[in-house]
Amino acid sequence: MNTAPPAALLASFPDADSLLAAARRARQEGYECIDGHSPFPVDGLAEALGFDERRVVLLAGAGFVGGFSLALLAQWWMNAVDYPLNVGGRPLAAWVAFAYPAFELACLAGAVVGIAAMLLLNHLPRPGHPLLDVEPFRRASQDRFFLSIATVDPRYRPRRTEAFLRDLGARQVLEVPP
Amino acid sequence: MSTGAEIFQPITVQVADIALARRVRRRWWLALALSGAATVAFVATVVWLLATGVGIWGINIPVNWGLAIVNSIWWAGLATAGTLISALLLLVPGQQWRSALNRFAEAMTVLAVAMAGVFPILHLGRPEAVHWMLPLPSTLGVWPQFRSPLTWDVASLLAYLLVSLAFWYVGMIPDLATLRDRAGGARRRRAYNRLALGWRGSALHWARWRQAYRAAALMAVLAATLHSGGAMLFAAGPSAAWHTTGLPPYLLASGVFSGLAVVLLLTLSLRAAFGLGAVITGRHLDIMGRLLLVAGLAFLYGAATLAFGAWYSGDPRQAQFLVERAVGAHAVTTWAAMALMFVPLQALWWRRARRAPAVLAAVALAVVPGVWLDRYVLVLGGLQRDYLPSRWGEYAPTAAEWALFGGTLGAFAFLFLLFVRFLPLVAMFEIREATA
Amino acid sequence: MVSFAPGRDHLAPMRAGLVTAAKAVTAALAVVAVALAAAWSAGGIPRPPPVQPVPFSHAHHAGALGLDCRFCHSDAERGPRAGLPATEVCMSCHYPVEVRPEVPALRWVRTARLPDFTYFDHSVHVAAAVDCAACHGAVAEMAQPVPPRPFTMLWCLDCHRQRAVERARLEHCYACHR
Amino acid sequence: MPAIAEAGALRRREFLRGMAASAATAALAGCGRSPVGAVPYVERPEEVVPGRPLFYATAIPFAGFAQPVLAETHMGRPTKLEGNPDHPVGGGATDAFTQAAVAALYGPERSRRPLRGGVAAAWADFAALAPELAGPGLRVLTGAVGSPTLVRQLTALVEEAGARWHVHEPGLPPPQAGRPSLHPRLDAAGAVVCLDADPLGPGPAQVAHVRAWSAAPRRPLFVAEPTLSPTGAVARRRLAAPAGRVPVLARALAAELGLGQAPPLADDEAAWVAEAVAALAAQPGESLLLAGPTQPGAIRDLALAVNARLGNLGRTLLATEPVLAMPPGGDEFSLAALVEDMRGGRVRALLVLEANPAYTQPAGLDFAAAARRVPWRIHAGLCRDETAALCHWHLPLHHPLEDWSDARAVDGTAGIIQPVTRPLHESVSAHAVLAALLGEPGADPREVVRDTWRRRWDEDDFEARWRRALHDGFVADTGAAPLTLAPPPLPPPEPDEVGGLEAVFRPDPCVWDGRFAAVPWLQELPKPLTTLTWTNVVALGAGLAGRLGVATGDTVEVSAAGAAVAAPAWIMPGQAEASVTLFLGYGRRNGAGVGRGRGYDAYPLRPGPQGWRVAGVRLRRLDGAAAPLPVIQPHQTLAGLDDIVRTVAPGAAVPPPAAAASLYPEWEYPGPAWGMVIDLDRCTGCNACVVACQMENAVPTVGPSEVAKGRALHWLRVDLYYQERPEGLRTYFQPVPCMHCEKAPCEFGCPVNATVHGPEGLNQMVYNRCIGTRTCSSYCPYKVRRFNFRDYAGAMPAAYAPLRNPDVTVRAQGVMEKCTYCTQRIAAARIEARKDNRPIRDGEVRTACQQACPARAIVFGDLADPGSAVARARDDRRHYGLLAHLGTRPRTTYLARTEAR
């Protein structure tokens, strides 16, 4: 047992519902630096922890629109402005034709931007996160559900918080090493 | 109350241990060796081709597109099915059926698109100048020509490949984390951790991940639909046999049809190989059977519509294309295709047949080559009987062309085997979600 | 709410490294681009003049003596190639008729090279009052002239696009290619 | 064409010597990379502007007749031959053989140096030996001879040295000594009937005849012949009759006109004769009956009598003194007589001058065995052919483009042949060889030729006339002197031919009697009526084939009089059921370059040096799979599509197409809008345009295996369609170059802008941008694009490199190529016009195909200029665009074929 204060407390729960309940309680208690960890996306958990954003979706949409217009513009400039050539008597600015690759590239841009946004906002990749050094936490990607409260949380009190977690129904409460 | 341990552990163990198993079955090694040999042959043929040029193929004027293009659109068609199963069904609310299949269906898609992309490059007269199809600035000051359906094809193949690759990988991240956490050795653990980007199942991460995943799915579906197996390359040209708006849906339908058959084959073989009966249940097979039947009928309808249109158009040449198809040089191929695609398919009207792996396998094994033959007839039909009888010509593929086709089959199998061995071939977290 | 993300981030240096690498690459590309652009505008990387069979100075003949280019390169206004003066042309100035020695055919080394796959006609450019220097540089100031810039397609196009009464006239492929 | 002063000509050859190096480098200049070194002249000739071609008037002899040409030379190397527009014959047009003659100049099959017993020898040695060969024991065997100088030398040899002169011309019947030459005037004839005659077919007079016919191609033409010929193909009414049956038809026809007794006829024959007679009688004095040179002399006399009766003599049928010279005495100087003498040991020395009896000898005439009894055998020719292999001495001769000589055109007009380049090999002039035999070893051929003309012209203005002759390419007013023919007595009727199968012989339309077998461009030239290349076949009728169970490509054995040949069969439309056709010129054994061992040799079946028909033929199918034949166009029917070759009744108009609505913008085409109109009434499928295009645009050949794969490279093709109609077989020729569509599907198919539209309406193909996706060809409804599946240009023998037109890019492997409307010619005209600030004149730009066409079927020019010939042609009632309903707006359009129904 090292003397330094832990980085966080980690409470493990048997199933998603108890984790969800625990998360709600913790919020009511006023805890702020809390997070849930589950082997699959638990509906409502993030919202229960106060998550409320659509940035990823919006950015993906922006990527789609941006990609489309950029591709359209680039094609028009290349084929109609920079080197206009009579190609089979077709119009120089063949928007209908340009729309096809533009749409495909828009799809690419939308997907890439969306995923990139997700990774950036999630601060991923981060293979070295201390949680990953906690032996039991390995179950978090398999069959266990965890609630973590960081020690930096203003409402954190070593004894009280641990007790709080226990009477939330946590199977065990662990200390995350700093 | 049942805890996560009891519900989730079995599936996790079963799937994860396929990738993590220390000892590998001999069958896997055998398959890998075979497909590896085919891949080597493929590379050798490519080298030969690049050294001597497309003159070693059977192509000519008028039939200047041969097996290469047939294979390309065939592979591209297969791919669409994977996208449909995983991405489209993901967007359909309230169904978890896909979870058992989507992962390797996506893998199939990614590999198939890659194979589809190989041929257009190999078939160039001067492959060394392929980069001229991309908008790269140079002292020539000349740009690609974006009215060309071929440029469209380059763009859409590229987009489709990257989108489906991204979609596949993002969906795999949480399961890679599972592998990390079950991996024995430190090195494997580190490796899977890197691949999983340090995923720790945080609620917020899940939330944003879900948004990104769905967005990617939508993009994949759009890309796949528009690409429709490179149909534009044919439909946009003036050839009487191709010049119809019905062609893209036709190619899309047949692509999905053949793709579903391939997914079905993969499903059955993986299910048998790894005893995944619990994960991939009879219900999955039943639904796959229904889907295959529906796709087949849709394609049949499409084919009928095209034929009717050709006849109804009153254009002698379109009619002539029909006749040529039915009784011409490739009549045998045409009817073989029809028989392979639609006769065994009818078995799937019966529930019993749909739940019998043997029957399903037989049907799928007939459909896949059937659709390939249909592609063959389609491509040749547009070229060998063009507007002027003086330019009517024939075409016979050479050994080099067959070798390249076989080579891509081998390469596909090789890469897929590696995927099966080292990556989670079923979306574990989705099944957890479904069973919870 | 705040996601649980305590201090120890093993990947922070990696991400930082990535960012710096990205910056470095971009900078490098920019530098190269600028250099190339400069090279083109300034006429590329000038080659050193080759060793010619006789130490002939253009600076002297065209500069000091003020001979017209066409005095020696007389084909420039008659045909596609400017041509090299027949040895008798040199002789006509350098030797009086009676003491004219027997000379072998000279073998010059080309400095101005027409790019592959292009057809250039001097006579029509002369007729269009294109100054020789426009392509060959200030020959009158160079003892051993080398073309000031590589004859790239873009460079030809620049001129064609400016001079043509009607752009398409000189911008189309068959203007130079056949 | 610059005037060539004598001095100029001399200086030209000097500088050519000096230019050797540069000429070599210039040869490479066509391939893109410019040479590193540059060698200026020491003294420059005025007329040479580097990069500009020079034209010299000369002639190419063919079967004794001069084909007048202008030779285009680049820095001293000939690259192209055009007809001589000022010449009374041909009016600037040429035939396929003449177009390919320049290729023969560079042919790798040409022998490099004199040989004695197969080892290199010196010309001087022969010159030293020659005088002692001259004498009564000397025999000279030549082909048909029309060259005044050659005739003078041969006569001298006969008269002074007592030598004997024999003539053997396998492809053509030689004029009987003393008989006048007959000149049909197709332009003057209002109706023509041909009895096994093929005036429009290949031969020395083809250009003259086709040009005359094209004056009004819609005249009634009746043809009865055993095998389809170009003349039969354009006939209004054609009867397939065995050659043995033609005499009967002739007598019936004569009887109808009151000459002799009418033999019994079959119904179709009677119908044909009735129509023919009606047409002849309708315009007495302006009709013409032609009996083919392959028919017996009696029938030719009969035809003459009929023409006399119709009053055609002197009007549509002219007679002149013989154009070709013959040794006096007829058969005594034939090849057979020579062989007889050789066998009898009466020949001490034999000089074979540009003839190849060892190959072209008829059945049963063992030339080789007989020749072995001759102590001195000398062969003089371009190649070391079958005959050369039998001779002690082989003397390489100059190609006509390297030589001084003279010759007479079909109308007798004489012309001087002058060298336009330095000899490529250690060859000599035929005149030098004969001069050596006459005891003047060192004679300069130029002086020999000048001597001939010095004797004809008075001395004082000789130089002027000589210069003029060189400049013009012909000597004015030297046409053959006309004679008035007395109508010959009616020949006694011969017994009718008994039935049974007959074989008729024809020179191959592309390699003639075998002399052109080494020219790849002629080997790959599709035979006009089969589109077959690189080989010959036995043509037989569908009915006969059905009876024997023979399919096209099967091997059949044709046997007659003990001899037999095995050959691939070809089911020929319009073939008389009772006759099969064998084509000469294949199965070459020596000195035939690429032609060696191709096809089968039909000579062993030939009854005599001039035998055109052998009766009592047996035909049987040999076992073995059908061989794939290198055919350019496998499908030769219209498949019921009536929008490809349009036909109209005389005076009728093609219904105007429904205005093709277009969503696309109208493009402005400032300045010249190039366009081409091709008149299907005029085209006789002679293929001159095809070879002209290949020579002008440096189109390589691909070889038989690639042709069989469907990879032929001709930019311009002549589509061939057969159609069985109630009124008989119809044959259609449709030349198809690039259509240069204004809404070109190929262009929008190209992903890299390698083919785009120019401001003058040209569909531009940029080879160095092409990456070979072949989308353009897939999208081209006319399939006029050709692809370099392999490195065809690089695979050509290096010897042909100097033949390449330096103004045209050499296409690499993997790129598309196609007709460019000869853009290099347009560019040259554009530059000249720009230099003196004027628009390009109508007719200033002429495409190679247009220039070569003897029928004037191709018109090219500026559509924007309403006065231009092409614009006027577009206003013709017969004008239509091929597949115009596709909305491609082709710039190349057609005038429909007129058909009396």
Which residues of D fall within a CB distance of 8 Å from B383? 778
Calculate how close chain A gets to C164, using CA atoms only, in Å: 14
Contact present, D806 and D74 (Cβ < 8 Å): yes
Q: Mean pLDDT, chain D, as a whole number?
A: 90
Which residues of D fall within a CB distance of 8 Å from B150? 749-751, 773, 775
Which residues of A fall within a CB distance of 8 Å from B188? none
Instruction: Decide: helix, strand or coil at residue C17.
Output: helix
> Is B228 an 8 Å CB contact of chain A?
no
Closest CA to D527 of D787, D240, D205, D228: D228
Name the DSSP class of D705: H
Alpha carbon distance B216, D725 (integer Å): 65
Calculate how close chain A gets to B209, using CA atoms only, in Å: 6
Output the DSSP codes for D34-50.
Answer: PPSEE---SS--TT--T
Instruction: Decide: helix, strand or coil at residue D238.
Output: strand
Calculate how close chain B gets to D692, using CA atoms only, in Å: 21
Closest residue in A to B217 (Cα–Cα): A111
Output the DSSP codes for B352-420.
Answer: HHHH-HHHHHHHHHHHHHHHHHHHHHHHHHHHHS-S-GGG-------HHHHHHHHHHHHHHHHHHHHHH
Closest residue in B to C40 (Cα–Cα): B139
Q: Is the pLDDT of residue D93 over 90?
A: yes
Alpha carbon distance A17, D720 (integer Å): 83
Q: Could you say which residues from 73 to 102 on chain B have a Cβ atom under 8 Å away from some Cβ of chain C?
A: none
Q: Are strands D65-74 and D54-62 parallel, antiparallel or unpaired?
A: antiparallel
CB contact under 8 A, C178 and D32: no
Contact present, D292 and D194 (Cβ < 8 Å): yes
Please write the tens of the pLDDT for every residue from B71-111.
999 999 999 999 988 888 888 876 778 888 889 999 999 99
pLDDT at C46: 57
pLDDT at D171: 87
Please write the tens of the pLDDT for every residue from A55-78.
999 999 999 999 999 999 999 999
Confidence of residue D36 (pLDDT cuts 50, 70, 90): low
Using CB atoms, which chains have 3+ pairs under 8 A with C? A, B, D
Q: Which of A74, A111, A132 sits opposite B166 (nearest CB)?
A: A111
Which residues of A fall within a CB distance of 8 Å from B159? 104-105, 107-108
The mean per-residue pLDDT over the stretch D765-778 comes to: 95
Task: Please give the C-alpha separations between residue A124 and each of A33, A50, B202, C5, D499, in angstroms, as whole numbers.
Answer: 19, 20, 11, 11, 98
Contact present, B90 and B36 (Cβ < 8 Å): no
The mean per-residue pLDDT over the stretch D312-340 comes to: 86
From the CB of residue B143, how many other CB atoms can be counted at a distance below 10 Å? 22
Using CB atoms, which chains have 3+ pairs under 8 A with A? B, C, D
Tell which of C3, C4, C10, C158 to mutate to test the A interface (max A CBs under 10 Å): C4
Which residues of D fall within a CB distance of 8 Å from B142? 752-753, 769
Q: Which of B5, B197, B201 sits opposite A141 (nearest CB)?
A: B201
Q: Which of B53, B124, B238 sits opposite D773 (nearest CB)?
A: B124
CB contact under 8 A, C4 and A34: yes
Calculate how close chain D gets to A99, using CA atoms only, in Å: 15
Closest residue in A to C157 (Cα–Cα): A83
Which residues of B fall within a CB distance of 8 Å from C153? 139-142
What are D679's two structure tokens? 């008149």
Which residues of A fall within a CB distance of 8 Å from B205? 122, 124
**In degrees rounded to 5, what are phi and psi of residue B351?**
-60, -40
Closest residue in D to B235 (Cα–Cα): D779
Contact present, B253 and B304 (Cβ < 8 Å): no
CB contact under 8 A, B139 and C155: yes
Alpha carbon distance C150, D290 (integer Å): 68
Q: Could you say which residues from 179 to 218 on chain B have a Cβ atom under 8 Å away from some Cβ of chain C?
A: 198, 202, 204
Calculate how close chain D gets to B396, using CA atoms only, in Å: 9
| D374-D378-D382 Cα angle (round to 5) | 145
Closest CA to D373 of D418, D332, D343: D343
Alpha carbon distance A55, A41 (integer Å): 18
Which residues of C fall within a CB distance of 8 Å from A51? 1
Q: What is the CA radius of gyration of chain A?
A: 25
Tell which of D667, D669, D760, D776 to mutate to test the A interface (max A CBs under 10 Å): D667
Residue type for position B41:
A
| D584-D590-D593 Cα angle (round to 5) | 85
Which residues of B fall within a CB distance of 8 Å from C157? 141
pLDDT at D7: 36
Tell which of D531, D721, D732, D773 to mutate to test the B interface (max B CBs under 10 Å): D773
What are B32's two structure tokens? 């890998």
Q: Could you say which residues from 126 to 145 on chain B have a Cβ atom under 8 Å away from some Cβ of chain A?
A: 135, 141-145
Alpha carbon distance D65, D95 (integer Å): 13
Which residues, listed in sequence order, are joined to residue D508 by a DSSP beta bridge?
A: D512
Q: Is the pLDDT of residue B322 over 80?
A: yes
Calculate how close chain B gets to C4, using CA atoms only, in Å: 9
Alpha carbon distance B96, B110 (integer Å): 22
Kindly tell me the burial class for residue C35, based on how many C-beta atoms sit within 10 Å of its own C-beta (0-12, 13-18, 19 or more). Answer: exposed
Instruction: Decide: helix, strand or coil at residue A10.
Output: strand
CB contact under 8 A, C110 and D35: yes
Alpha carbon distance D721, D529 (integer Å): 9
| Residues on A contacting D at a C-beta cutoff of 8 Å | 83, 85-91, 97
Kindly tell me the burial class for residue D156, based on how many C-beta atoms sit within 10 Å of its own C-beta (0-12, 13-18, 19 or more). Answer: middle
Closest CA to D681 of D658, D718, D647: D647
From the CB of residue A80, how many other CB atoms can be counted at a distance below 10 Å? 17
The model's pTM: 0.91
Percent of chain D exceeding pLDDT 70 equals: 94
Confidence of residue D901 (pLDDT cuts 50, 70, 90): low
CB contact under 8 A, A130 and C4: no
pLDDT at D435: 95
Contact present, D785 and B61 (Cβ < 8 Å): yes
pLDDT at B317: 84
Q: Which of C4, C10, C168 sits opposite A33 (nearest CB)?
A: C4
Q: Which of C3, C153, C154 sits opposite B202 (nearest CB)?
A: C3
> Is D464 an 8 Å CB contact of chain B?
no
pLDDT at D498: 64
For residue D117, is it left (φ>0), alpha (ψ between -120 and 50) or beta? Answer: left
**In degrees rounded to 5, what are phi and psi of residue A32?**
-115, -45
Closest residue in A to B216 (Cα–Cα): A111
Of these ranges, A125-129, C38-42, C53-57, D504-508, the one predicted with the greatest mean pLDDT is: D504-508
Please write the tens of the pLDDT for every residue from D205-230.
999 999 999 988 889 999 999 999 99
Alpha carbon distance A113, D48 (integer Å): 67
Task: Please give the C-alpha separations between residue C174 and each of C78, D694, D820, D823, in angstroms, as whole numbers.
Answer: 21, 20, 10, 8
CB contact under 8 A, B193 and A104: no
Closest CA to B198 of B228, B174, B220: B174
CB contact under 8 A, B198 and C152: no
CB contact under 8 A, D773 and B60: no
Q: How many CA within 13 A on the CB side of residue B254?
A: 34
Q: How many CA within 13 A on the CB side of residue B160?
A: 37
Please write the tens of the pLDDT for every residue from C103-147.
777 888 888 888 889 999 999 999 988 899 888 888 888 888 877
Q: Is the pLDDT of residue D597 over 60?
A: yes
Percent of chain A exceeding pLDDT 90 equals: 39
Confidence of residue B32 (pLDDT cuts 50, 70, 90): very high
A125 preceded by a cis bond (ω within 30 of 0): yes
Instruction: Decide: helix, strand or coil at residue B284.
Output: helix
> Is D773 an 8 Å CB contact of chain B?
yes
Which residues of A fall within a CB distance of 8 Å from D746? 88
Alpha carbon distance B383, B394 (integer Å): 9
Contact present, D26 and D804 (Cβ < 8 Å): no
Alpha carbon distance B24, D861 (integer Å): 77
Contact present, D336 and D365 (Cβ < 8 Å): yes
Alpha carbon distance D257, D301 (integer Å): 15
Closest CA to A40 of B7, C1, B191: B7
Residues 6+ apart with CB under 8 A from B42: B403, B404, B406, B407, B408, B410, B411
Confidence of residue B31 (pLDDT cuts 50, 70, 90): very high
Confidence of residue A9 (pLDDT cuts 50, 70, 90): confident
What are A13's two structure tokens? 């729960």
Contact present, C34 and C133 (Cβ < 8 Å): no
Q: Which of B139, B202, B204 sits opposite C153 (nearest CB)?
A: B139
pLDDT at C41: 57
- The number of residues in chain B equals 436
Q: Compare A67 and A177 and report the one with higher pLDDT.
A: A67
The mean per-residue pLDDT over the stretch D368-381 comes to: 94
From the CB of residue B13, how many other CB atoms can be counted at a distance below 10 Å? 15
Closest CA to D629 of D582, D570, D679, D688: D570
Residue type for position B47:
V
Contact present, D597 and D588 (Cβ < 8 Å): yes
Calculate how close chain C gets to D43, using CA atoms only, in Å: 6
Using CB atoms, which chains have 3+ pairs under 8 A with B? A, C, D
Alpha carbon distance B122, C165 (integer Å): 43
ipTM of the complex: 0.90
Kindly tell me the burial class for residue D296, based on how many C-beta atoms sit within 10 Å of its own C-beta (0-12, 13-18, 19 or more). Answer: middle
What are C4's two structure tokens? 């649980």
Please write the tens of the pLDDT for every residue from C14-31.
566 667 777 888 888 888
Contact present, D120 and D114 (Cβ < 8 Å): yes
What are C73's two structure tokens? 């390169």
Which residues, listed in sequence order, are joined to residue D503 by a DSSP beta bridge?
A: D580, D614
Using DSSP, how many helices (H) and how many strands (E) does chain B show?
A: 17, 0
Alpha carbon distance B380, B57 (integer Å): 15
Run of H or E residues at D502: strand D502-507
Closest CA to A46 of A140, A139, A166, A147: A147
- The number of residues in chain A equals 178
Please write the tens of the pLDDT for every residue from D446-465.
999 999 999 999 888 899 99
Calculate how close chain D gets to C170, using CA atoms only, in Å: 9
Run of H or E residues at D23: helix D6-29
Please write the tens of the pLDDT for every residue from D735-763.
999 999 999 999 999 999 999 999 999 99
